[in-house]
Structure 1
Amino acid sequence: MLASMVSLSNTTAFQCCNHHHKLLQIRASSAAPGVDLKNLESALAKKDSNAVKEALDQLSEVGWAKRWSSQPYVSRRTTSLRVLTTLGIKNAENLAIPSVRNDAAFLFTVVGTTGFLGVLAGQLPGDWGFFVPYLIGSISLVVLAVGSISPGLLQAAISGFSAVFPDYQERIARHEAAHFLIGYLIGLPILDYSLDIGKEHVNLIDEKLEKLIYSGQLDAKELDRLAVVAMAGLAAEGLQYDKVVGQSADLFTLQRFINRSKPQISKDQQQNLTRWAVLFGGSLIKNNKSLHEALMTAMSNKATVLECIQAIEKAA
């Protein structure tokens, strides 16, 4: 699982200093003379979504937060898989199919390793040659039992194991930066994020939308906005990789929004909404490639939310 939306190593002293110097450069160069970011910084520290939105609106009025809420209007339209392919989405027909790459690799590794060790242990003398293979072989059964009783524990283990894939950390950054960027462009205040494996998320929502979600009163306009943000991570992966790995959480989030909307939409409309949201989100990512890449770098360097916003505006 790479992402979920709505509630994202140790380094040498030189690297820390260098990173701090870079962040100071971002802060100095992206804040225009006379622009005060203290209100925004304070609102982010308090995790007050209304205050964050007000601060960004004020910064937009004075000409600093130019990209904030620059895409406030989204309008759903009929979208085919062919259009997604034309955009550059790879294997568009498989986007809605949850990936089992990491799960399968983890389980095959457990079974393969325990099987190999069991064969070796069988060569031990006496009773050890019987009991040790038996104990090793039971590890696979324990793993399956844990998955049945407590799926969350197994998923945490799979997430940790997934770090062995060379592209996994880059996928997380690309995926979560897409949620962050599209939310920012659409006008949803970002409160925090994490790229930590197993905890990756971007927390972005405002109180008005939160109330509509919990009351099950999302209208079509708000559903469309949230759908684009929810599918942004999937779209970012689809533009870069042949297979999308982190779509499960995104699809779950989108389904949650659909279930909380009125009037309810049909299965065919849900499929079209998903395709359109991928198309719209993917188009925004392609059209703002430099912003997305700058944000990926900032997030990978564990920048604060304020520093991430400054990176976006500087890249713009």
Structure 2
Amino acid sequence: MGTSVCFLNLSSCPRLRLSTFRILSSAEIGVSRRQVLEQVDRELSKGDERAALSLVKDLQGKPGGLRCFAAARQVPQRLYTLDELRLNGIETASLLSPVDSTLGSIERNLQLAAILGGVAAWNVFSFNPQQILFISLGFLFLWTLDLVSFNGGIGSLVLDTIGHTFSQKYHNRVIQHEAGHFLIAYLVGILPRGYTLTSLEALKKEGSLNIQAGTAFVDFEFLEEVNAGKVSATTLNRFSCIALAGVATEYLLFGYAEGGLADINKK
């Protein structure tokens, strides 16, 4: 019995098309995603927020794209009574009435140290009443100048710097607070642009006083809606969630919120 062999020349069959599939390894996807992040960072550093956001959205859901961006879905909005919140184990005073007791304690200790230092200097240098008056007026002038010209920004800068230096509790709380803003913004589809964790860092980056810490976002779409006078309910809900994410994070981690009063007032 003979054997028949048939050779098929693929190039001579125009109707036959072969598709090539390539399976990307997790390492390759990781490298690709890192390259995307680097490109996004470059666009943001150039101030081209539209290009950065477009790049993220174009690769959304694709291999190498950013994971979980805009992946969260908000539950339908609903108003809760105080009794309903208590039944769910939420203490509204601890959540929505933050008092920065850590910085308050540091501020009181600094005031006490200043008084004791003044008394010690008086005894050591034997200041007469006139010298004490002039020194007191000098400090009062500097305090008033800061309050009037910088809205207390210099004092807040000093207090925040001392807080981050000597209080690990305060330092960690600020980090967790800003991480909450950053994470929720990313999950609801608002691209974070940058963040600061200290007043000194904010002064160096933004040239602004009176900023304790903060997270900046690519929000030109929101601003365009505001300027047009047509802010959609979806956009408003997103930014409301982002604004309250910091205090919610503190409440979940520590059982109470100390920072974020300005966020609540903005909301």
| TM-score normalized with structure 1 length | 0.59
Q: Match for residue 67 of structure 1?
A: 68
Partner-residue secondary structure (3-state), 2:194: strand
Note if contact 2:40-2:56 (Cα within 8 Å) is conserved in structure 1: no
In our comparison, the structure showing a higher alpha carbon Rg is 2
Q: Deviations over 1:165-197 (max 9, x none)?
A: 221121121111111111111011122222234
Q: CA deviation at 1:240?
A: 1.8
Say if 2:226 is the partner of 1:227. no
Pick closer, same or farther for the CA change 1:230–1:50 going to 2, 3 Å: same
Note if contact 1:40-1:51 (Cα within 8 Å) is conserved in structure 2: no
Q: CA deviation at 1:132?
A: 5.4
Q: Match for residue 41 of structure 1?
A: 38
Say if 2:200 is the partner of 1:203. no
Q: Which amino acid aligns with 2:162?
A: F
Q: Deviations over 1:76-115 (max 9, x none)?
A: 11123455556665x4224333525355335423431222
Say if 2:50 is the partner of 1:50. yes
Q: Which amino acid aligns with 1:160?
A: T
Note if contact 1:81-1:93 (Cα within 8 Å) is conserved in structure 2: no
Q: CA deviation at 1:218?
A: 1.8
Q: Match for residue 13 of structure 2?
A: none
Note if contact 1:174-1:237 (Cα within 8 Å) is conserved in structure 2: yes
Q: Deviations over 1:120-160 (max 9, x none)?
A: 2333476x243554455457634642453122223222222
Q: Match for residue 118 of structure 2?
A: 118
Pick closer, same or farther for the CA change 1:182–1:125 going to 2, 3 Å: closer
Say if 2:101 is the partner of 1:101. yes
Distance 1:30 1:82 in 2: 51
Q: Deviations over 1:26-79 (max 9, x none)?
A: xx9776268455444323312133333333334332255341111144531112
Q: CA deviation at 1:251?
A: 2.0
Note if contact 1:147-1:154 (Cα within 8 Å) is conserved in structure 2: yes
Distance 1:138 1:29 in 2: 67
| TM-score normalized with structure 2 length | 0.69
Q: Match for residue 17 of structure 2?
A: none
Q: CA deviation at 1:226?
A: 0.6
Partner-residue secondary structure (3-state), 1:167: helix
Q: Which amino acid aligns with 1:32?
A: I
Say if 2:170 is the partner of 1:157. no
Pick closer, same or farther for the CA change 1:158–1:218 going to 2, 3 Å: farther
Aligned residues: 225
Pick closer, same or farther for the CA change 1:103–1:67 going to 2, 3 Å: same
Q: Match for residue 170 of structure 1?
A: 172
Pick closer, same or farther for the CA change 1:224–1:166 going to 2, 3 Å: same
Q: Match for residue 217 of structure 1?
A: 230
By relative contact order (CA 8 Å, sep 6+), the higher-ranking structure is 1
